[in-house]
Amino acid sequence: MIDRDPNLARRDFLKTGVAAAGLTLAPAAVFADDEERQEIKPVRVGVVGVGNRGTALLKTLHSFDALEVPAVCDIDPKAADRASKLIVKRGRKQPEVYTNGDEDFRRLMARDDLDAVIVATPWQWHAPMAVEAMKQGKYVGVEVPCAITLDECWDLVKTHEATGAPCMMLENWSFRRDNLAVLNMIRAGLFGEIVHCHCAYSHNCMHWYFDADGRPRWSGKHLLRRNADQYPTHSLGPVISWMDINCGDRFDYVVSMASRSLGIKDQLERKFGADHPPAKLPYKQGDIVTTMVKTVKGNTIVIAMDMQLPRPYDNRWLIQGMRGLYNEQRAAVYIEGVSPNREQWEPFAPYEKKYDHAWWRDSAEELLRQGHGGTDDLELREFIRAVRAKSQTPIDVYDSVSMSVIFPLSERSIAAGSAPVECPDFTSGRWQTTGPKYALDRG
């Protein structure tokens, strides 16, 4: 029986004219010359959280013309000072810094000289900060996941609908060149109607969970408290658009299960010894979490999280339709009636070239020199373009929370013995009439 907790069915959206204000925004333009048709004026961005990730995003922002960073915020004064010096070194005006405790971000977001805010803080602050930014009328780009509880997902949706301010989760794997080419292939009908997808985030992240001395960072502390797919968005980044989620289909329910938790203790003991105190802590997080999703249309998705065992990096994307499929691990496709041998895979490379997305066609050489294979540069470029044009961001709030909600829903399913758990309809039925909207390539 599906767990249909009445708290999931929160449909109390505001019944006012502003409730759907964010829905009226036009999609961000794909083509570079769209920007040339508008008057170029500086986009003013505040950055909250300037640790490793925030600093990387800040460096990318400074590669754009007509962009200013009037303010930065971090609870660590040294980090804020480092960011300030970086901005000045890049020839920009020295920003005002906000370092007066956990809530000082609110003063930054209340400024009237900001068009947008980037949030790159620990997870527990993502949703509260994004909500505050929208309440202050700012566009917000928030790092992954945008929310870690079901209530936070609803807070983001309701605030967006009340204010009309767009909220975009900065899921960079949605902007990978190969994934966008696959999206174009799907929309061209090469695989027929889509029925199934597999995706994963498989990456030994012990270096991220624990510091050089083997002490849990803020991220590692989540391993002590929760047993869930804690990082579903890199898996689902391209899948949301591949499967028309929120624009013709939506997640119906999820079933999750977790393996035993052995990897964390084993890796800490081997590196720091059996007496290392963090190795003795009771970690709740299972080593591998597998989540199955059933969509309302009847399609299926398998999501795997594997972040605490020794292994090379892997995403294991596979998207399958009635007439063919793409396999990222093999870098191959098979298309019925097109592939020359019905028993063999074809190389993906010629298809990737033929179906290259407009975002990459004219700027691939430049993008590939940037962070994360160009995806950071591309996602921020398109976010800033939407801010400048006052249009909808490439990834909207509905897709952002749909990717992130797997975190709390998987946790609930695991705790209930792998029981099915309903996924809310964050669009309140609009998924049935909304057409494809992400990365529309008219070329």
Which among 127, 90, 89, 86 has a CA at the least distance from the CA of 105? 127
Tell me the C-alpha distance between 253 and 300, whole Å.
10
Q: What is the pLDDT of residues 195-206, one digit of tens each?
A: 999 999 999 999
Q: Which SS3 state, helix, strand or coil, does residue 71 take? A: strand
Q: What is the pLDDT of residues 81-104, one digit of tens each?
A: 999 999 999 999 999 999 999 999
Mean pLDDT of 412-426: 98
Torsion of CA 359, 376, 131, 232, to 10 degrees: 100
Tell me the C-alpha distance between 359 and 425, whole Å.
30
Say what the pTM is.
0.92
- Which CATH entry fits the domain spanning 174-359+396-432: 3.40.50.2300, 3.30.70.3040, 3.40.47.10, 3.30.360.10? 3.30.360.10
Mean pLDDT of 52-72: 96
By the 8 A CB rule, do 86 and 74 touch? no
Tell me the C-alpha distance between 109 and 259, whole Å.
42
- ∠409-412-417 over CA atoms, to 5°? 125
Domain ranges (residues) in the chain: 6-172, 174-359+396-432
Q: What percent of the chain lies above the pLDDT cut of 90? A: 87
**Which CATH number applies to 6-172?**
3.40.50.720
Strands 96-98 vs 116-119: parallel, antiparallel or unpaired: unpaired
Helices (H) and strands (E) in the chain, counts: 18, 15
Report residue 331 as tokens: 């870098």
Distances in whole angstroms, Cα of residue 422 to Cα of each of 61, 209, 294, 313, 315: 39, 30, 10, 31, 26
Tell me which residue has tokens 């373009």. 385
Strands 332-335 vs 346-347: parallel, antiparallel or unpaired: antiparallel
Residue 24: pLDDT over 70: no
Q: What radius of gyration do the chain's Cα atoms show? A: 22
Mean pLDDT of 35-57: 86
By the 8 A CB rule, do 330 and 226 touch? no
Q: What is the pLDDT of residues 304-358, one digit of tens each?
A: 999 999 999 999 999 999 999 999 999 999 999 999 999 999 999 999 999 999 9
Q: Which SS3 state, helix, strand or coil, does residue 421 take? A: strand
What pLDDT was estimated at residue 413? 99
Strands 324-327 vs 318-321: parallel, antiparallel or unpaired: antiparallel
Tell me the C-alpha distance between 85 and 94, whole Å.
8
Report residue 176 as tokens: 């990978």
By the 8 A CB rule, do 208 and 219 touch? yes
Structure confidence at residue 369 as a pLDDT band (50, 70, 90)? confident
Paired with 48 in beta bridges are 73, 119
Which among 228, 221, 246, 180 has a CA at the least distance from the CA of 428? 246
Measured between its terminal Cα atoms, the distance across the chain in Å is: 46
Mean pLDDT of all residues in the chain? Answer: 92
What pLDDT was estimated at residue 2? 63
> Which amino acid is located at 230 in the chain?
Q
What pLDDT was estimated at residue 328? 98
Report residue 47 as tokens: 């950055």
> Which amino acid is located at 177 in the chain?
R
Q: Contacts by 59-64 with C-beta closer than 8 Å and gap 24+?
A: 59/86, 59/371, 60/370, 60/371, 60/376, 60/377, 60/380, 61/118, 61/380, 61/384, 62/86, 62/87, 62/90, 62/92, 63/370, 63/377, 64/380, 64/381, 64/384
